[in-house]
Structure 1
C-alpha cells in the first residue's frame, strides 16, 4: 500500500482541520500515519487504522537544542515509516520535516497556514528564517497557500520552489457547520471566538463592547477562547460589570453560534485563512472582520458582513452600528448570503480534492 505521512503540531488541529483528508486517503486504501503531539483526538484515527507517532513538538519553544531534537525525531519517524509522500502543516513541521524529507529524496507537500509574526517584522530574525525556509523547501514537490498575500511573499523572496497551489484556506465542513436558524430575540448578540490576545484584536473588541453596550443596552458581547494572562483581570472586571459574557474554551462552538447575531473577528494576526470566519459564515452568521489577508477574502462588503481597518476601534464601532440599524430580515439575508458563499467557495471538499490531486501527482512522478 502507498504510505502517506502527515506531520502537524497539535492533535486538535489534525482532527478539526485535516480529518476529511485523512478519511479520504483511508477510503482510497492508502496507508496513513500521523506524527503529532499525542491527544485523545488521535484515537479516532488510530481506530481507523492509522499509525500514530507521538512527537515532542513545543509550538512556542525556541530552545535550539530542543528544535534540533525535534528535527532528528522527524527523521527517525520517516525512517521507521518509510512514506511515499509526506504532508506537513504549520511552520515547524514545514521546516524540520521538510529538511529531513529533502535529505532522503521523499516527495513532500507543505501547507503555509500563515507566515507567522517573525516573517512580517523586518530584522535579522526574518532574514535568517527566509534562509532556513530556502534550505527546507529546496526539493519541495508542492507548496499549498491559503491566501494570495502569503504566495506573493514567497514569490518576492525567491522562496517559490516546486508547484504552487492556492487553497480556500483549510476549508470548512459545511455539513458539520450547517445553517443555524437566525435568532429572533430582541437582544443583539455579538461573539469573539479566538485566543484572547492582542493580535487577535481583543482590545478593539472590548473597546467596542463597552461603547456599544452603553448606547445600545439591548446588546450582548460574548467571548469564547483561552485568555492570556495580561487580559484575565480586564475580562473579569468587564464580565462583572455586565459588558461581556465569557464562555471559556468551547468544545462545540455551534452551541454558542446558534444564539449569536454576528461574529466579530478584528484580527491583525498573520492568518492563513480564518477558520472562525468560515465556520461562522457557514452557520449563517454575518461577520465583521479586518482588511487583513486571511480575513478579508471571506467577506463581500455589505453582502455577508463588513470589513474594518486593522487596530481601529472607531471603525469597528461604526460598522457594528450599521449592522444594528438593519432589520431582522436584512440581517438574516446577510447570513444566508455568507452561507451560500462558503458552500460555493470554501467547502472543505475543495481542499480535499486538491490535496488528493497533488498526492497522486507526486506519486506518479516517482
Structure 2
C-alpha cells in the first residue's frame, strides 16, 4: 500500500530550491507527496515532478490569535482529509501549529528548525509565549532537525524537547546545480560585492549600505555594491536614494541567482541570525569567496582567511574592515579562497547527505526499509 507524506511549509520557493531532493527521493521510494503552501510561485514545478499541492493561508509575520487559530483548524482539517502516514514541517508557524495538529491527532511528524527568528533576540513576553508553544507542539515530535548546534542548544536550554534531536548542516547545497565556475576576470578591474536576500534590518542591510558608502568614498568606481531580493520592510526609498548616488544597485529578485553569483567577486552576508545560510553554501559551491557575519549559520560555512572573511554582526566598522581587506587581496588570493570554499562545501554540505539523514529517520519512524 502506498505511503503518504504531507509537507507543511511557508514558501514554495524555499521548499523547491532547498529541499527538492528530499521530495524527489520520497517520490522515488513510492510515497505519495502532498504539500501544503500559502503561495504558488513554484507550484507548477512541484506538480510536474509528481507532488500534489494544496493551498493553506499563513501570515508569516507576527502573532495574530485569530489567524493562528484558523491555521490550526485548517491544518487539522487537512490532516483528517489526507490521512498522511508521516508529516514533515518546516519554519516557525508550520512547526508550531502543524506540530500541535499532528500531536492532537496522533500522527507521526518530523520538524525542522530553519532559524530562530527575531523573538529569541528580542526576549520579553513574546519569547515566553513562543517557547511555551514550541514546548507543547514539539513534545511528541518524532524527530526534530536543527541546522546548527547553537540553535539546538538554545532550544534545549529553554526546555523545548522532542523525542529525538538531530543536527545537520542546513539544507545542504546541490553541487551539480551550483557548479564550480572559474573566478571572473573583469576587464574594468571593478570589485563586485553582492548581497542576496530580503531587504530588512535583521539581514544587516543597514551595515551593508553604510559599508557601500564608505568604500565608494575610498575606492570610487573601482568598487560596486549590489543586492538581489525583495523589500520586506520600508527600505525602498532609502535604496533608491543610494542608487541615485551610484553607491548601490538593486537587482530584481530572480528565480535563478547562479548567473549573478558567477559574476560576483565576493558574496556578502551581514545577517544577525541564520539557520544555515543557503546563499553562502551556493556561493561557496560556485567558487566565490564569502564575507559574512561571525554567527552560527555562517561561520560553519565560511572559514575565516581560507574560504572568505568573517566580521562581527551588527558592526558596520567590522564589515568595512573586512571588505577593505578583501579589496587588497591579489587576484590569486581571491581565486584560492573560491577554490577552498568549493572543497569545503563538497566535504561538509552535500545535499544528498542531508537527504539521507531525513530518509533514515523516516525509515526508522515508519519501520520501512529504504535504499538510501
Give the 3 Å change call, closer, same or farther, for CA 123–38 of structure 1 in structure 2.
closer
Any residues of structure 2 matched to 1:351-366 within 5 Å, and which? 351-364=354-367
Corresponding residue number in structure 1 for 2:157 = 156
Secondary structure at 1:361's aligned position in 2? helix
209, 231, 235: which is aligned to 2:239?
235
Deviation, structure 1 residue 196: 1.1
Secondary structure at 1:247's aligned position in 2? strand
Secondary structure at 1:111's aligned position in 2? strand
Q: Is the 1:53–1:77 Cα contact (8 Å) retained in structure 2? A: no
190, 195, 206: which is aligned to 2:209?
206
Q: Is residue 225 of structure 1 aligned with residue 229 of structure 2?
A: yes
Corresponding residue number in structure 2 for 1:121 = 122
Corresponding residue number in structure 2 for 1:111 = 112
Q: Cα RMSD (Å) of the superposition?
A: 1.4
294, 312, 317: which is aligned to 1:314?
317
Any residues of structure 2 matched to 1:177-326 within 5 Å, and which? 177-185=178-186, 186-217=189-220, 218-228=222-232, 230-268=234-272, 270-326=273-329
Q: Is residue 66 of structure 1 aligned with residue 70 of structure 2?
A: no
Deviation, structure 1 residue 120: 2.6
TM-superposition CA deviations, 1:81-129 (whole Å, max 9, x none): 1111110000111111111111121111000011111123221111121
Deviates more, 1:58-67 or 1:143-152: 58-67
TM-superposition CA deviations, 1:289-332 (whole Å, max 9, x none): 11121111111110001110111111111111211111111100
Q: Is residue 77 of structure 1 aligned with residue 74 of structure 2?
A: no
Corresponding residue number in structure 2 for 1:330 = 333
Deviation, structure 1 residue 30: 1.2
Give the 3 Å change call, closer, same or farther, for CA 229–145 of structure 1 in structure 2.
closer
Q: Is the 2:199–2:233 Cα contact (8 Å) retained in structure 1? A: no
TM-superposition CA deviations, 1:182-207 (whole Å, max 9, x none): 11111110011111111111111111
Deviation, structure 1 residue 180: 1.7
Secondary structure at 1:56's aligned position in 2? coil
Give the 3 Å change call, closer, same or farther, for CA 189–159 of structure 1 in structure 2.
same
Structure 2 Cα separation of the partners of residues 172 and 37 of structure 1 = 24
Instruction: Structure 1 unaligned segments of length 5 or more: list them.
Output: none
Deviation, structure 1 residue 51: 2.2
Secondary structure at 2:247's aligned position in 1? coil
Count, aligned residues = 364
TM-score, scaled to structure 1:
0.96
Q: Is the 1:84–1:107 Cα contact (8 Å) retained in structure 2? A: yes
Secondary structure at 1:140's aligned position in 2? coil
Secondary structure at 1:224's aligned position in 2? strand
Instruction: Structure 2 unaligned segments of length 5 or more: list them.
Output: none
Structure 2 Cα separation of the partners of residues 37 and 228 of structure 1 = 17
Deviation, structure 1 residue 132: 1.0
Secondary structure at 1:282's aligned position in 2? helix
Secondary structure at 1:279's aligned position in 2? helix
TM-superposition CA deviations, 1:215-250 (whole Å, max 9, x none): 112111111111345322221121111111211212
Corresponding residue number in structure 2 for 1:4 = 5
Structure 1 Cα separation of the partners of residues 364 and 4 of structure 2 = 14
Structure 1 Cα separation of the partners of residues 139 and 80 of structure 2 = 20
Deviates more, 1:329-338 or 1:53-62: 53-62
Structure 1 Cα separation of the partners of residues 49 and 223 of structure 2 = 45
TM-superposition CA deviations, 1:239-284 (whole Å, max 9, x none): 111111211212211121121100111111x311111111111111
Structure 1 Cα separation of the partners of residues 165 and 102 of structure 2 = 18
